[in-house]
Structure 1
Amino acid sequence: MADDKTKLGSGDRDRVAGGQDYEVEYFARKHGISPDQVHQLIKEVGNDRDKLDEAATRLRADA
């Protein structure tokens, strides 16, 4: 389902929508990880963007 463009500024940018391929792809490129790793992180820590950023940084540091 596409984002509802009539609800701009509704504050959902603090979450990563795991079901939206473009969001997963963007997050994966941003952190240099695979989309599968993004989905795994979402399962582990939830879809809170700050927590995912931290987990992705740790993942990259461990590699």
Structure 2
Amino acid sequence: MSDDLHARDERSSIDINKASEVQYWCERLGVSEQVLRQTVADVGVSAEQVAERLGVR
């Protein structure tokens, strides 16, 4: 795994204003952009809280 990908896994927040971040988190969490954006709106930008809400660990 490259350092860049490892660093992404370690991110603690989701920046929904960056297309590359949205794409990464949609793929990582296995959700659509719409679901990701709604979940961030509901629980905030914490990657841990978003993953927990979506039932992803």
Q: TM-score, normalised by structure 2?
A: 0.70
Structure number, greater radius of gyration: 1
CA distance in structure 1 between the aligned counterparts of 2:39 and 2:54, rounded to whole angstroms: 8
How many residues of Structure 1 are paired with residues of Structure 2 in the alignment? 46
Equivalent-residue separation in structure 2 for 1:30 and 1:48 (angstroms): 14
Structure 1 unpaired stretches of 5+? 1-12, 59-63
Runs of 4+ in 1 over 3 A off after TM superposition: none
Percent identical among aligned pairs is 22
Alpha-carbon RMSD across the aligned residues, in angstroms, is 1.3
Distance 2:42 2:36 in 1: 10
Tell me, in whole angstroms, the C-alpha distance in 2 between the residues paired with 1:57 and 1:21: 23
Unaligned runs of 5+ in 2: 1-10
Match of 2:3 in 1: none
